[in-house]
Structure 1
C-alpha cells in the first residue's frame, strides 16, 4: 500500500500560469516552466534548470545559446527583441502556433499539422 510520502513523489508539480515561452523539455514532460534561453543548435527553449543540464554535456557546450527573445537573421547576426512565435493554439492546450499549411493557407501548431493538414 502506498504511503502519503510515495504519493507526493509521483505527483507532477507545474504551474497553471501561461508564459510567453515555455521550456521545451519541461513541456514535453507535462510541466509548464518559463524559458529563459534558446539554443539555436537544438532549436529548443530552456528554463534555468534544464539549461544547466544542457550545458553539462561536452558535446552541447559549443551550442549557441541566446536570450529567448533574440533571433538570428539571415546574414548570421543576432537580432534582439520579439520575432519568435508566441501565439498559442486554442485547440491543443497552448502549443505554439509555429507551422504553416500551404494547401489551406493557414498557420497552426504541430499537432494541427499532423492531424488536419497532411
Structure 2
C-alpha cells in the first residue's frame, strides 16, 4: 500500500472524499481532487500538477481515473474503515460470531464480554 496516498474524511460524517493531489497539498495545503496516480512516486496528481511531473519523470507509469482500479486504497480510507462506528477513538480488531458484528476493545468490554470472539488481521 502506498504510504503517501491521501484521501480526506469529513469529520463527524461517514462520507469519504475522493483522492486528493499530493503536490497541491504539499505546496499550498489545499485539498484538490486527484486525476492521476503515479506508480513509481506512489503519489496522486491533479490535471495541473501531472504535466510538470510528466516532463521531469517521463518514464513513470501514471494511471488516470479511467484506470482507478489500479490506484491503491489510501491510508486515510483504510483508517476510516477500521475505526469503530460507536467508539471513534478505537480500532476494530475482533468479530463477534454470536452477534455477527465487528468489535473494538471497548465494544467487547461493553457488549461482548461473555462471548468468544474471533481476532482478525488486515
TM-score (norm: length of structure 1)? 0.45
More strand by share: 2
**Larger Rg over CA atoms:** 2
Higher relative contact order (CA 8 A, sep 6+): 2
TM-score (norm: length of structure 2)? 0.44
